[in-house]
Each structure stands twice: as structure tokens, then as C-alpha cells.
A and B are shown apart, each in its own frame.
Chain A
Amino acid sequence: MITRLNATQELEGLRQQILASRNQDTLRITVCCGTGCIAQGAKKVVEAFKRELSAQNVNAEVAELKETGCHGFCEQGPIVVIRPQDIFYKKVQVEDVPKIVARTIINGEVMERLLYSVPGNKKEKCTQESQIPFYAKQERVVFKNNAYIDPTSIEDYIAVGGYASLVKVLTTLQSQQVIDTIIDSGLRGRGGGGFPTGWKWQSSKDAAGDIKFVVCNCDEGDPGAFMDRSIMEGNPHLVLEGMLIAAYAVGNVSEAYIYIRNEYPYALKHAYKAIEDAKAYGLLGDNILSTGFNLDIKICRGGGAFVCGESTALMASIEGKVGEPRAKYVHTSEKGLWGRPTVLNNVETLANVPVIFEKGVEWYKSIGTEGSKGTKVFALVGKVNNTGLVEVPMGISLREVIMDIGGGVPNKKQFKAVQTGGPSGGCLPESKLDLAVDFDELTKNGSMMGSGAMVVMDERNCMVDTARYFIEFLEEESCGKCTPCREGLRAIRNILMDICSGKAELEDIDRLEKLCLAVTEGSLCQLGGTAANPVLSSLKYFRSEYEEHITNKYCRAGVCKDLIAFYIKDNCPGCVLCYKACPTWAIIYNGKGVPVTLIQDKCTKCGACLDVCNLDALEVRSVYDNR
């Protein structure tokens, strides 16, 4: 039964009450129910725990089951962590549950089999989360509570100090002081642009108007990114609290929106629940905590177009119009939703806000670099051993993220590039691995922070083909309104396809570069404005690969099928790895110790053999190479 809080002081009272009702000795079995883990069977694991706990007579005083948000290490899911010991079990299956209850919960033993070990070092097991290299170098600020609280329980959030920042703001700070604090904190937008959040709020506050809006951008159209989703799913109240503080700071805001893409069912569900519960407690709605401050938060479902994440397109979409960008010669902070001053912030940006008031500006400023404060969540994917969500302090080097947290490139392959910033980000080569990751450094080097996707590539990734892939994505996602983006991306893709298929000439590179500049400068919105980044950055750092495709008709990565053929080298010991991997039976086994034979006619050049061979016994040659 929820009783409305009628004064700011009552929040702390409620928190004490919640804490007192919880036995500190109770074990907490936290099952990660982020989307990644759910896809791998987490919900079944939860059901199994429910069954087993009652079957083995473990009561709620002894152990409590908790479905939490994403822990970040999705690749190892379903993840189960038993607290307070923080025992970390990976890839837990329903069959494991009876044993976990019997051995770990009842007897306090650790089950070796379910522990994580560093790839290539099976003997060394990590018992606790903090011992796992993937977590060790992270600094979890916005993700801190994700792995501890049940996102559908407002009490869980209040228990860890939730909404205390709101109370602090409402009771001790004038709205201008709130903005000054955010300006001082150096917080910059995590949605891609890196615009200083405090200044954005200031400009909406200063804009004339008695109706203003706050909007939270949870569109997350970037295919590789899922941090906004994981925050919204795993800790929705954190975002609501950030929105409340933003609304209070800007003033004249009584309505706010969260724009969530429809493909995020759990984010939607948890956000709806959070709004309902916060209202019931009087933390949202009319006369919040009896302070006279009102805010209603509504949810708007997006259709999932990449371009709808762009500010003007997003606002058009909320207004019920076609989600297309328009010129922003007057900023949306002055004329946004329905022509009113509107603050649009990304989920992660807003999630940082309560933390700044909780821990203090000085603490916050101590994390990060001169121009970029705090942490950033990255979605680390591609050719790395550990994939998942990582939250790191700004200024950490790419090398630390990829090699230490990510555990390096698997299968003894050579690192080639890392693409940061999503589809319209840039590819950085090995020589840039020591780059400090922050807004300005990434931009300076031809890439960008973007949403925070980080795709690692190895020697088996062709840079021209990679550029083509991203351009094709953007071409499909371009709204088609303006000529440079719509027609330009098609022309860029045509040239890239010519290069990949050996039909291009050297002058085409020059043509490509010029066209990229025209698209960048001429496009209406930043989709077109940044779309050429993957091409421009790979031309900058991997130009020789482009030239090689054109002059030698050769793709060193073994990707561009029109140009390549695979050959078995003499050092092949006939280990049959490739024989097993080949989907078309193009490889013939000739006995142990003897090289296998590859039948060119049957080979579809899928490269499965190249991926599995760890003895460097395959060679990629140009089809025009007549050796």
C-alpha cells in the first residue's frame, strides 16, 4: 500500500522504513533481466529459482530473489549474482538452479563450474564481479544501481537514496542555482552532440514563454548501442528524477515527454510503471511533495526510425507529424515542441543529473578530462573477447577499453580498427589506440563520441566494405528530405560498391572524397552532416586499402568476393578446423599431417575457413593473381 508523501522530509522517513523492513543478513539472488539475458533464458531461470527456493524450503528471510536491470556483461548471460558476497555466476541455465540453491544458498559453497574465467586462462576463476577484468576498470556512476535494484520497485530505488537529489534541489536550491551547478559540473549531452547540458537548460530558461517542455530522448536508433535502453529498463526512476530536476531548473515546465522506440517493450513497461509509482508517492504529478511544483511525464512511442532521434524530427513525431528534420536556425531550446522552448536530453545525460546532486559537483568534476567530465557508457561489440556495456571515466584510452576491459581481439587475430560513434562515426587505427576517449579528442581525430557504440574490427574486416556497410545503413535510414543526403549517399554507395567489386579507378577516390565533403556541408540535419565520417576516416587512415582494391584488385581482409580467392598454404597440418567450418564442402581432408585441398569451384568465399584457421595456413589472393 503506497501512501502519498506530503512533505519533503517524509522521503527520508520512508527510506528508513524500507531499510528497517529489510533484514541485512538476507541473501539477495539478483538475476539479470536485461534484454540480453532475457533472450538467453533469464526469465526461465527466475521461475526456476522461485520453484527451487520453495521446494528446498528457503524462506524470504534467508534469501530474496530479485530481477534486476542489465549488468552489462550480456555475452555471459544469464547472469546471477549472489549478494552481499557478490558471487558472480555466468551462463546460468535452469538445470543449474537446484544446485545453486542447495550448494550456494543453503551451504554457502561457491560453484566453480559457473564462475567466469579469463579467456585463454581456464584455471584462474573469478569468484566476484570485481575480480573480472571486464568490470575491474569500469567506473559505474549511472549504472551503479542497475545490478542491485529491481527496476519495477520504487522502494528499491528509494532505498539506495533515490529521489534524495530531487528533495535536495527542491528544498535548498533556486532554479538558477540548479542550472549553475550543472554548468559547473561540465556535464555534456550523451546523445551524440556533446552540447553542454547546463547551457541548454539556461537557454530554455531564458527564452520567453509560460509553457515549456522537457523531453527525454530514448529513441536510440544506433543499431549497436543499447545503453539508453539498459538504463531505462534497469533504473527508470533515475531518469525520471533527472527529468524532474531539469523541469524545475528550466521553470514553467509542467509537462514532459519520454520518447521511447516501440521495439523496447521492457523500457516502455518499466517507464510506465515508474511513472505510476512515482505519482502514487507524490513524487510526480501535481504539487510534488507539497512544494507546489508540478510535473506530468508522458510517454510517446516512436516507430523506430533512426532519423527520429534527431531533435526536430523527434519533436515533429511527438506532435503527430511525419518524423522529418527541419532547419534549426532557431534552436529547439527556444522554439521546440509546439513552438515552445524545449529541453531535449538523452537518457544517459539525464541519468547523470541526480548523481551530480547526490555526490556533489566537485566529486563529479574529478572524473574525466578537462573538456569532458564524468563517465560514458559504451556498447563494446565486434571482435573483442568481452562484449557488453561498459561505463568508463572520460579520458580512458581506447587501448584500456578494448584490450583490458574488452580482453583484446579473439582467435589470435590482429586488431585493425575501432569504429566509435555509431554508423556515422569514424574508424580509428591501431596508432590511435592510446587516444584519450572524450568528446573533443574523438572529433579531432575524425571520429566522434556519438551514442557510444564501439565496434572493434580485426584483420578480417575490410575497411572499404565496412564503410559501404555503414553508408548503406544511413542511406536506408535517411529520411530523403534533402538532396545531398538522399542522392549523395546513394552516389557514395555506388562508388564504394565499384571499389569493392574492382570496377573503380583511382580517380574515384578523389571523387568520393569531394562528394563526402559536399554531403557533409550541404545536408539539412546531422544524419547527412555526419554520414560521410566512416568513409572520410577510413580514407584518412586506411587509404592504401582503398588503393589496393583498385590497383591490385585485391582485398587483404578476404571479404570482397569479386576480388579474392583462398588458397591453402604448405604449412597446413590438416587439422580439419576449416574442413568442419566450410558450409559448402569445398575443403577435402587428405589425412593428418597433409594439407587439405580447397576446390575453388565449390568455394563461395564466405571466409569461414579463414576465421577458424589459427595457424595462418590460408592465403588470400586476388582472383587476377595468376600464380
Chain B
Amino acid sequence: MITVNINGKDYSAEKDETVLAVAKRNFIYIPTFCHNEAVADYGSCRICMVEIWTKKGKNKLVTACLFPVEDGLKVETNNERVLFIRKNIAELLLAKCPASAEVAEIAAQLGVYETKYRIEKDGNKCILCALCTRVCDEVVGRKAISLVNRGINREVAIPFYDNAAACIACGSCVYICPTNAITMTDKDGIRTITMPNCEMKFALRKCNSCGREWIPEKQVKYFLSSAPGLTIEEFDLCQSCRK
């Protein structure tokens, strides 16, 4: 056990826990966008920045979601230097994603209601946190979507913008997206996943009992191919009817 001081109070922590983990456990709020327990931390949005002082005398801003605590670490999560960065990031994201209510909400928490920077005309809701691509890779294991291009041209895309072959329509990206930039609807036997730059359609499988369209055919196929013991009959009923 080690001791970490956050905003003037001592807390005990495990070595190599992140600042964010210790803060969360102790109900100290630090805003995050690209952090999600389901996937490895990435450190890209930078909204979680905090100021730290190490025992050895190092003082800098770090991302709370990635920085491992050490004994005697002093952290401030809300001081002027930290808020300056956060507010700037909020303003930059407001300019990039004018349509995102989630960005506006975090910005408002920081007292930022408008941006000084030029608003992107065709700005979509994607803040490029990469949660979708990471969950698709690390949890689903499909790598159906990835980040393409550099700099301001960076975007989430399926290969060559038109090849949805690897996607099994599971919707993990939709669930994890913090700004609802990816959406999904199930209608008339078709699941539609809409990303800022493309729309994908997948056939759904009906439940033999209640008739509800409950699972994408591609996902069934994927399960069958990846788990040898599984038979197609096991997908005859939806979760509710199976109970």
C-alpha cells in the first residue's frame, strides 16, 4: 500500500494503479472521454489531465487515466493550470463537434458555453477517442473498423471506406461511443449501423418463438465458426424466449 495525496487529502492506493482509478474510488470527479474500463487506456482526449508532483521533485501535467501512482505522489485535479487545459480542450472539441450534446455537457461543467475557434461546418459528433476501434479490436476481436489518415483528416472507417466484411454487426462500437457518433437501428429485419462516413446494413435473424429479430446473421455465423461445439439450433430462440 502506498499513499497518494489528492487535492490535499491522503488516500491509500496500490502501486501502479492509475490516478483516475484512485480518484474514482474516492469519489473525486475527473472528466474523461476516451477512458472506458472495457479497453486499455489510450490517453488521447486529454480532458482528464491533472497536475502532479513526485517525491523526486517532478512537476507536470499528466493524463489521470494513464499515469501510475507512486508513493508520496501529490495530485491536484482542479487547479488553474489543469482547468486552463481542460477548458481549451472543451473549446476545441466544441468547434470540432458542434452537434454533440455530450461535448457540450462536459464543456458546460467547465463553464465553457461557446468556442472562440472556428466551428467546423461539416463537423460530426466524433471526438476521435478511438473507443470504438479499441473495443472492436480488444474485446470483439474483429478489427472491423480502424482509425485512418493523419492529423485533422483522421477518422474512423471500415477498410477502404466500403468493406464491411469483418464487421459482425454486434454494435459494441455503438454502445461504447461517448458522443453517439455511431448509431444503430433495427427495423424490418435489417440492422443499420451509421457512422459519420458510412452506413452499413445487416440482416437480422428471427426468434422462432416470439418472432423478434434479435441477432445479426453475421454474428451468428461468427459464433458458429469460432466456437466449434456450437450448432445453429442454439440460435433459434432469443435470450428472453430461451429462459
Among B43, B44, B49, the one with the most A-chain Cβ atoms within 10 Å of its Cβ is: B44
Question: B85 touches which one: A480, A489, A522 (CB < 8 A)?
Answer: A522
Bound state CA distance, A268 and B198, in angstroms?
A: 40
Cβ–Cβ contact B68 & A329, under 8 A: yes
Residues from chain B with a CB closer than 8 A to the CB of A524 are 43-44, 46, 63
The verdict on B93 contacting chain A, using a C-beta distance below 8 Å, is yes
Cβ–Cβ contact A491 & B150, under 8 A: no
Q: Is the interface of A mostly helix, strand, loop or mixed?
A: helix
Known pairs A329-B62, A477-B151, A521-B61; A482 contacts B92 (CB<8 A): no
Which A-chain residue is minimally distant from B92 (CB atoms)?
A487
Cβ–Cβ contact A480 & B63, under 8 A: no
The verdict on A479 contacting chain B, using a C-beta distance below 8 Å, is yes
Which A-chain residue is minimally distant from B84 (CB atoms)?
A518
Residues from chain B with a CB closer than 8 A to the CB of A515 are 88, 117
Known pairs A491-B92, A518-B84, A521-B61; A486 contacts B118 (CB<8 A): no
The verdict on B127 contacting chain A, using a C-beta distance below 8 Å, is yes
Residues from chain B with a CB closer than 8 A to the CB of A488 are 88, 92
Cβ–Cβ contact B151 & A483, under 8 A: no
The verdict on B30 contacting chain A, using a C-beta distance below 8 Å, is no
Question: B43 touches which one: A307, A327, A330, A475 (CB < 8 A)?
Answer: A327
A-B interface contact total, Cβ < 8 Å? 102
Known pairs A327-B63, A329-B68; A518 contacts B85 (CB<8 A): yes
Residues from chain A with a CB closer than 8 A to the CB of B116 are 511
Cβ–Cβ contact B67 & A518, under 8 A: no
Question: B152 touches which one: A307, A327, A490 (CB < 8 A)?
Answer: A490
Cβ–Cβ contact A326 & B45, under 8 A: no
Residues from chain A with a CB closer than 8 A to the CB of B177 are none
Known pairs A327-B66, A524-B44; A483 contacts B152 (CB<8 A): no
Known pairs A327-B66, A491-B95, A522-B49; A480 contacts B61 (CB<8 A): no
Chain B, residues 90-130, CB within 8 Å of chain A (1/0): the string is 00110110000000000000000000111000000001101
Cβ–Cβ contact B66 & A476, under 8 A: no
Which A-chain residue is minimally distant from B115 (CB atoms)?
A491
The verdict on A478 contacting chain B, using a C-beta distance below 8 Å, is yes
Bound state CA distance, A479 and B46, in angstroms?
A: 15
Cβ–Cβ contact B151 & A486, under 8 A: yes
The verdict on A442 contacting chain B, using a C-beta distance below 8 Å, is no
The verdict on B226 contacting chain A, using a C-beta distance below 8 Å, is no
Which B-chain residue is minimally distant from A492 (CB atoms)?
B117
Known pairs A491-B117, A515-B88; A475 contacts B46 (CB<8 A): no
Among B95, B96, B127, B151, the one with the most A-chain Cβ atoms within 10 Å of its Cβ is: B151
Offer 6 A-B interface pairs, CB within 8 angstroms, sorted by A: A475-B152, A478-B151, A480-B151, A484-B85, A491-B92, A522-B88
Q: Which residues of B contact A (CB under 8 A)?
A: 42-47, 49, 61-63, 66-68, 81, 84-85, 88-89, 92-93, 95-96, 116-118, 127-128, 130, 147, 149-154
Task: Please list the 7 inter-chain residue pairs (A to B) with the smallest Cβ-Cβ separation, ordered nearest first.
Answer: A480-B154, A518-B88, A487-B92, A478-B151, A491-B117, A522-B85, A480-B151
Q: Which residues of A contact B (CB under 8 A)?
A: 305, 307, 322, 326-327, 329-330, 475-484, 486-491, 494, 511, 514-515, 517-518, 521-524
